[in-house]
Amino acid sequence: MKYTNLIEIALPREQVAQLLSDPAHIPKWLRGVVRHEPVKGVHGELGTESRVVMRTGNREVECTETITRREPAELRDIPAAAVVRFDREIVGAGMWSAVRDRLTEAGPETTHWESESEYRFDSRLIRLLGRLLPGTFRKQSQQHMRDFKAFAEEGRDVRESRG
């Protein structure tokens, strides 16, 4: 299953890239994250493997995230025409996922974020659910992007909205 989500963020691309790549900010915009810690490498750098624990309801899911592409490697003074790329693979029990994020300059103070997601499942049941409910995956990805936008533009922290 593959899909693409898009969002505009009212901040310069360099600032968006730095906020996205800073591990200290992940819990502020990624709902359900319990832990995101490098086990090999430095957070956000090419080749880094991280242990990621997410909570959905009363259940915790653990997976491994590997950064497979980061361009440019240095996020300061990015040329105007350049596209910032963050790609990662996520492997967990019965599933593999790739996320390819692209940040382009939509204007001096606006960033266009395009996120392409791809999922593969080992389990027949999960594969069937993925085919029957593809909108669920897309909606969750779009919610993460909206949460990041609210964090980046307004400083809103998803942990403060939990009831």
Query: What are the structural domains of the chain?
Result: 2-155 (3.30.530.20)
Which residues have C-beta within 8 Å of that of residue 116, sequence separation ≥ 6? 2, 3, 4, 99, 100, 101, 102
**Six-digit token pair at 49?**
């493997």
Q: What is each CA distance from 25 to 17, 21, 40, 84, 159, in whole angstroms?
A: 12, 8, 20, 19, 11
Band (104; pLDDT cuts 50, 70, 90): very high
Question: Which has more pLDDT, 162 or 92?
Answer: 92
- Sign of torsion, CA 62 68 73 79? negative
Measured CA to CA, the distance from residue 132 to residue 102 in angstroms comes to 28
Which residues have C-beta within 8 Å of that of residue 38, sequence separation ≥ 6? 48, 49, 50, 51
Residue-level length of the chain: 163
Average pLDDT across the chain, whole number:
89
pTM: 0.87
How much is the pLDDT for 163? 45
Q: Is 105 helix (H, G, I), strand (E, B) or coil?
A: strand
How much is the pLDDT for 131? 66
| Model confidence pLDDT, tens digit, residues 6-31 | 999 999 999 999 999 888 899 999 99
| Model confidence pLDDT, tens digit, residues 49-97 | 999 999 888 999 999 999 999 998 787 777 777 899 999 999 998 889 9
How much is the pLDDT for 93? 85
Place of tokens 């909206």: 146
Measured CA to CA, the distance from residue 156 to residue 161 in angstroms comes to 9
